Amino acid sequence: MAEPVTAPERIASIDVLRGVALLGILLMNIQSFSMPSAAYLNPTAYGDLTGANRWVWIITHLFADQKFISIFSMLFGAGILLIAERVGPEHATRIHYRRMAVLLVFGLLHAHLLWSGDILYTYALCGMLVYLARHLTPKALIILGVLLHAGSTVFFIANGILLRGAPPEVIAQVANDFWLSPPAELARELAAFRGGWLAQQTFRGPDAMSMETFIFLIDIAWKTSGLMLVGMALYKLGVLSAQRSRAFYRRMVVLGFGLGLPVIAFGVWTNFRAGWQFPYSLFYGTQFNYWGSVAVALGWVGLVMLLVQSGRAARLTRRLGAVGRTAFSNYILQTLLGIAIFYGTGLALFGRVERVGQLLTVFAIWAVQLAVAPIWLRHFEFGPLEWLWRSLTYGKAQPMRRR
């Protein structure tokens, strides 16, 4: 029968890695919750960037920005294969596309009602696409994944070249749309997110539509689909299930961090040297982190697999695994906590908390999630949203309470 994976059938290392990725994603998403949208890509667009705030940005950029979402995307690709194996070939396609359809609805509701930075919509559409490649060999999956990942780079560099000859007013308009918010627009965004839900919708709705259409097509779809395919390959090679040797994972750590961090650091240096000026920093300067983050993500994967294999820090890995098993619920919980702290429907701290304060907020949310997730799983088989997702996917209510 087509049924979801049960607790004894789960792969512990994947749950732990998913927990690490879920917590790490918040290091970057907190900026989206707490600051105007232009500040996410351009750190000079809003807020203080000196002293401790500057170092917080640099460290999170080096070690977190695009790294943990890359891991999460790889794990999503691996999960497609894992579920297909579990339900069997006669049910796999039907279950997969029903699962993606349900996730698509969740993503649309999340993006348009709560937070426009949603990734569920992207995962649903890209998941529908990459499923078609599930039978490819690991080598073919990696090659195709890298080629898809390069699609965004081609677009950005080509547009950077085309803009060189564009009229000044066109360049200024593009810069205002993607890189710097004019003072009047900035004031309007601050007022909207410090206001009520309807006021927030004046920005959230258009932002969500942009993410789901234009930005999806030029950037997000390419890198997400590519990384999902890489995740499928890593799953087939036994990398994500901690089956490889310790020497293999040590090499992943050394090569991942050793190659990725210098590339990203060089990109940081060139952007500061250029004064974070448009169009260089958007179309060219972002590419160092775009590619370096993949290497660093693999370094993180190797580090987590070594931790799991060692058996050390067992209490921490159990808590991380619990967060990973309830990642969907915890992802939405991060949104609920973020908007409760920063939006006008809560404490209205939007635009009022610098990067050091944002980091402390992340630590507090981590503490809540690491504490609550294991307690929840002592009593229930799934997180609340995992239960709903699985019940809708399999067409029947899943057993919730632990026996």
Residue of 26, 286, 23 whose CA lies nearest to 153: 286
pLDDT the model gives residue 5: 58
Q: Is residue 136 part of a domain?
A: yes
Segment 243-266, tens digit of pLDDT: 999 999 999 999 999 999 999 999
Which band of pLDDT confidence, cut at 50, 70 and 90, is reported for residue 4? Answer: low
pLDDT the model gives residue 163: 87
pLDDT the model gives residue 9: 64
Residue 114 reports pLDDT greater than 90: yes
Buried b (16+ CB within 10 A) or exposed e, 188-206: bbbebbbbeeebbeebbee
Segment 162-187, tens digit of pLDDT: 888 888 888 888 888 778 888 999 99
Distance, in Å, from the CA atom of 164 to the CA atom of 193, rounded to the nearest integer, reads 35
pLDDT the model gives residue 8: 57
Q: Is residue 400 part of a domain?
A: no
Interacting residues of 73 by C-beta distance below 8 A, sequence separation 6+: 123, 223, 224, 227, 228, 231
- How large is the average pLDDT for residues 98-113? 98
Q: Is residue 403 part of a domain?
A: no
pLDDT the model gives residue 245: 97
Tally of structural domains, the chain: 1
Structure tokens given for 184: 């009047």
Note down the domain range covering 47. 7-394
Interacting residues of 236 by C-beta distance below 8 A, sequence separation 6+: 81, 137, 138, 141
DSSP state of 104: H
pLDDT the model gives residue 210: 94
Q: Is residue 2 part of a domain?
A: no
Q: Is residue 120 part of a domain?
A: yes
The predicted model scores a pTM of 0.95
Q: Is residue 1 part of a domain?
A: no
- How large is the average pLDDT for residues 337-347? 97
Q: Is residue 212 part of a domain?
A: yes
Distance, in Å, from the CA atom of 79 to the CA atom of 14, rounded to the nearest integer, reads 9
Q: Is residue 99 part of a domain?
A: yes
Which band of pLDDT confidence, cut at 50, 70 and 90, is reported for residue 103? Answer: very high
- How large is the average pLDDT for residues 78-89? 93
- Mean pLDDT over each residue of the chain, to the nearest integer: 95
Name the H helices within 194-312.
197-212, 214-215, 221-236, 246-273, 287-310
